Structure formats: structure tokens, C-alpha cells
Amino acid sequence: MKLSMPRFDQAPVLVVGDVMLDRYWHGGTSRISPEAPVPVVKVEQIEDRPGGAANVALNIAALGAPAMLVGITGIDEAAASLTDSLNAAGVDVHFQRLAEQPTIVKLRVMSRHQQLLRMDFEEAFDTNAEALAAEVERLLPQAKVLVLSDYGKGALKNHQALIQAARRRGVPVLADPKGKDFSIYRGASLITPNLSEFESIVGRCADEADLVAKGAGLMQELELGSLLVTRGEHGMTLLRPGHSPLHLPARAREVFDVTGAGDTVISTLAAALATGEELPQAVALANLAAGIVVGKLGTAAISAPELRRAVQREQGSERGVLSLDQLLLAIEDARAHGEKIVFTNGCFDILHAGHVTYLEQARAQGDRLVLAVNDDASVSRLKGPGRPINSVERRMAVLAGLGAVDWVVSFHEDTPERLLGQVKPDVLVKGGDYGIDQVVGADIVRAHGGEVRVLGLVENSSTTAIVEKIRSK
């Protein structure tokens, strides 16, 4: 399946559901309590993260999509922490605040990345369903997808009112279901139960064929647009009326913590569908995102650079020949991962040992090497008639095959100054016997806080000399 990274910035999603605060107390353990056979944790760090529907909205915002969130909290310190975190992430928060009830908090005591204890502070909310539905109705015109994030805590009282309101406006509805009664999600565009939740409704599935048959029956009974069953280490199965089942394998390299994985799936799905992606492609993106999040500790959001890098890895395009737009996105991702960008340029008409040594030395100056190559017209202007010997497409293909080179891009000017102004490398590298101040573009790179380095030449290595030697024979 061909995957691409959507542009999420014009894909607003409205999330409605049970918000909660995931609180973590981190500390070391070095002794057992004298009062009971339990470890004593010396709390050294307190960390708050949005959970439940709030985590769904946070994930959507982290992908770069506009996220709106409707939910219920108390009027307390936990609600303030939630609001501050979500606002800082760019989530548009619309909370109903109840003075008589506390915000739901799940407190986890952690030591050495292991959870020792979880304490839940919660009461089922006695909500005004009409007021919540009215708020959703008010925000729906701004949304391209509606997500019902249901944790069974009481925020969602009248699912059908919300589903029908969205359907009247042609807005797809995605639901992450809970409980023993899926009829409340009747008419949804997609529901995303895990296997345990699915089997609690349809009964145990003996095999793949049984799962598909029971899923088809559920879709027909509840008039669902589609059904996505998440199956842990067995991946995901997407069922759609009139289509063959789509089975996607789990993508996690190492499972560290499954907390919030379901939130990641539905948030990525919603954001992708809001961009206009087809459902199979959106599910494949969600599967990649889930594979990333289970390698993290606790509820965690997946950023656009992380997902884009996973897509590139999937397509085998982490390296190679890129357009300028592709290059700038790749650099953005690399910087998001703390990588240092090195830039060099040249004609590289006939690749020789000097080039290879120089590029290896250049790559050693950082984490990623951008190689900018003069196009054919600029080589001809610089080197004279009869050059280049090899076209720019062939030169770039050969250079992209070198282990030292990450990305190859062409430019049509005689110098790469315009390109340097866009790439803004951390290090500009040139080979030669001239001073740093003579390097073209040095002032541009320094203006952006970068460095300029000159590497030595490899003796007796010259493209011009090779060409003249061939022509003389």
C-alpha cells in the first residue's frame, strides 16, 4: 500500500468525551517500608499528562491538525493543569466545569520506568447532556471529523444525539467504544474496539474467518460505515461492507507501554480522514503511529516528524534524491530528532576516490549530509563546453548510493547561496586549499548560527584531469 504523509494543518477535528489527568510520581526505591512489605519511593518528579479524550485531542494537535475538545471537569487544580497543558499544545478547549465533582485523575507511582501502583480519583459525572450536545452542535460547522472518545465515565450520555447531529452536517463520526452495549454507536462512520471489547459484544472469535463474519454482522446490525478491530500483537483488521478485509500487522519493534495506544489510533485516523485520505491509507498511518507510541512510557503524543519519519522508513525514502520541498521536510524531521545537518555542494561529474573520501569526511561533521549538485546548465557554465559528461539525474543517482550521503538535491544557479538560505545547515563544508572566508555562502550560514569548515583535498584526484586523460587517448 502506497503511503504518504498528509498535510494536517487544514484538517480540524472535534473530540468529545471523557477527559482525565494522567499523573505520574517518579522516584527511586532503595528500601522496603518497615510498616509493610512494600517499596518506599522517594518522589523526585511529578508529571502531568492529558489522558482519555484529552490525550486524543493532544495527539491530533501534535500531528499539526486543529483540535477542538469538549469534555467535563471539576473546578480544581487537576482541571487547571489539564487546561494549561492542552492550551500550550494548541488544543481549543471547551470544558463544562462542575463545582461539586472532581476532575478524573489517574495517579501512577513509577520507579525505574516500572509502574508500582495506580490510584484512581473519580466519580461518574452527573452531566447535562443537552448542554454538551448544544456545545457540540455549535462547534460542528468548524470540524471535518467528529471523534467520540468514550471511557464510560459519564461525559457521553446521549451518543445518538451527537452522531445524528454530525450526520446531518455530513461530518464523519469515529467512536472508540466502551461497555457492553454497542447499539449506542448506531450509525457511526467507524468504531475502533480492541479485540476484547469486540468479543464481549459478538462472542469469542475462533479464527480470522469467524472474526470477519461476526464483524460483518455487527456492521449490518448497527448500520456502521466500517469497523476497525485493534488486536495488539496481531495488528489491526479493517472491515468495510462490500470490501475484502484488510489485515495490517503490528508495527512495534519493542512494546514498552500500551497506555494510550487506542487514543493514538483513533486520533491519527481522525486527522488523516480530515485531510481527505482514504480509509485504508488512514488506517495504515494509524498502525504506524501505534507502533511508535507503544515504545514510549505512559500516555504520549505522536508528533508529525515522528510519523513522517516512520512513513519514509516504510517507503524506503529516508535517504536518496529529493525535491527541495521534500528536503526541507526531511530536515525539519531530522532537527526534531536533535540531528545536526551538514551541507556541501559540487558538480561531481565523474565520481572518483577523492570525492568519496571527501564526502565521508563531510558526513563525519554531523548526523545528516545534504549534497547539493549543480544541474547540467550550471556545470556547463562553470566547466565549459562538453561538460558535464554525465547528466544531473545520473550524477545524483550515483551519489545517492554512497553510504555517507543522506539526501541529494540539485540547484540551477552557479552557487548554492539561495539553497543555503532555505536549508540553514548547522555545518557548511567545502574541500580545498582556500580560507574559510572564501567559501561561498559562509556569511549566510553564520547568520543562522551555523559553522563553516574547510576539509583537505585528496592528492591526485581531479575530475578535469580524468576527463583530459580520457580525451587524450
306 with 326, same domain: the answer is no
CA distance linking residue 446 with residue 424, whole number of Å:
9
Is residue 466 in some structural domain? yes
Euclidean distance between CA atoms 97 and 103, whole angstroms: 9
pLDDT at 418: 94
pLDDT digits (tens, 9 = 90+) for 300-353: 677 777 888 777 776 655 678 888 887 887 888 788 778 899 999 999 988 888
Report whether 197 belongs to an annotated binding site: yes
User: Containing domain of residue 128, as a range?
Assistant: 8-315
Contact status, residue 321 vs residue 370, Cβ threshold 8 Å: no
Amino acid identity, position 61: A
Tell which residue, 89, 150, 18, 68, has the closest CA to residue 304.
89
Q: How confident is the model at residue 255 (pLDDT cuts 50, 70, 90)?
A: very low
* pLDDT digits 0-9 by tens, 19-37: 999 999 999 998 999 999 9
The CATH number of the domain holding residue 369 is 3.40.50.620
Domain boundary among 315, 340, 357: 315
In a domain, 174, yes or no: yes
- For residue 257, name the pLDDT band (cuts at 50, 70, 90): very low
How many Cβ atoms from other residues are within 10 Å of residue 328's Cβ?
15
The predicted-structure confidence for 361-386, as pLDDT tens digits, reads as follows 999 999 999 999 999 999 999 888 88
Give per-residue burial for 433-444: e unless 16+ CB within 10 Å, then b. eeeeeebebbeb
Q: Is residue 460 part of an annotated ligand binding site? A: no
> Is pLDDT at 258 greater than 60 in this prediction?
no
Q: Which of 282, 315, 348 is the last residue in one of the domains?
A: 315
pLDDT attached to residue 291: 80
**286 and 389 belong to one structural domain:** no
Cα-flanking dihedrals φ and ψ of residue 168, to 5°?
-60, -30
Q: Which DSSP state fits 303?
A: P
pLDDT at 429 over 80: yes
Cell numbers given for 417: 547561496
- Domain shared by 272 and 401, yes or no: no
Do the beta carbons of residue 127 and residue 157 sit within 8 Å? Answer: yes
Place of cell 501534535: 62
- Given 281, 315, 349, which residue is the final one in a domain? 315
- Helix axes 279-293 and 261-274, enclosed angle (nearest 10): 150
Q: How many CB atoms lie within 10 A of CB 123?
A: 13
Q: 174: how many CB neighbours lie within 10 A of its CB? A: 29
Which pTM value belongs to this model?
0.71
pLDDT, tens digit (0-9, with 9 covering 90-100), for 52-97: 999 999 999 999 999 999 999 999 999 999 999 999 999 999 999 9
Residue 297 has pLDDT above 70, yes or no: no
Q: What is the pLDDT of residues 157-214, one digit of tens each?
A: 889 999 999 999 999 999 999 888 999 999 999 999 999 999 999 999 988 899 999 9
263 is an active site residue: yes
In a domain, 3, yes or no: no
d(CA 340, CA 323): 20
Check if the beta carbon of residue 115 is closer than 8 Å to that of residue 141.
Answer: no
Q: How many independent structural domains does the chain possess?
A: 2
Same domain, 259 and 210: yes
For cell 468504531, the residue is 191
Q: Are 28 and 161 in contact (CB under 8 A)?
A: no
Residues 140 and 26 in one domain: yes
* pLDDT for the residue 459: 57
Which of 176, 263, 333, 406 is an active site residue?
263
Predicted pLDDT of residue 458: 62
How much is the mean pLDDT over the chain?
88
Based on the fold, state whether residues 367 and 250 are members of the same structural domain: no
Structure confidence at residue 470 (pLDDT): 61
Distance, CA of 116 to chain centre: 29
Whether residue 110 is contained in a domain is answered as yes
Q: Is the pLDDT of residue 266 over 80?
A: yes
| Annotated binding residue 194 | yes
